[in-house]
Amino acid sequence: VIHGDLATRNVLLTSTLDVKVTDFGLARQLNNYSMYVKTQDTPLPWRWLALESHRDMVFTSKSDVWSYGITLWEIFTLAEIPYAGATNCCQVVEDLEEGYRMRRPKYSTVSM
């Protein structure tokens, strides 16, 4: 299953500190395929998308790993907005293609 919308807004923490991933509205079952190509024109969470998802509308387990990394960044920045200075997805794509990466969060360690 590809979730397609991993972000802190879709993660719940129970009273026993169990983590629950929610909102499977963009999720897709892959079955015999390793990727999903989006063809519908629906809004996407562009601040959390991997570069290949931005460019080609391709979603894989690897693009979910990218979103997971952005989600961890959100957690360790204490809920800062990813790419806060960007006003649209085209700007994020251009920055990523030029090698830009967000700074390491203050509350993370180098080994993370």
Active site residues: 5
Under a CB-based contact definition with an 8 Å cutoff, are residues 82 and 73 in contact? yes
Q: What share of the chain is helix, strand, coil (3-state, %, to 5)?
A: 35, 10, 55
H or E element: which one contains 66? helix 61-76
Angle (nearest 5°) at CA 6 between 65 and 85: 95
Count how many residues are written for the chain.
112
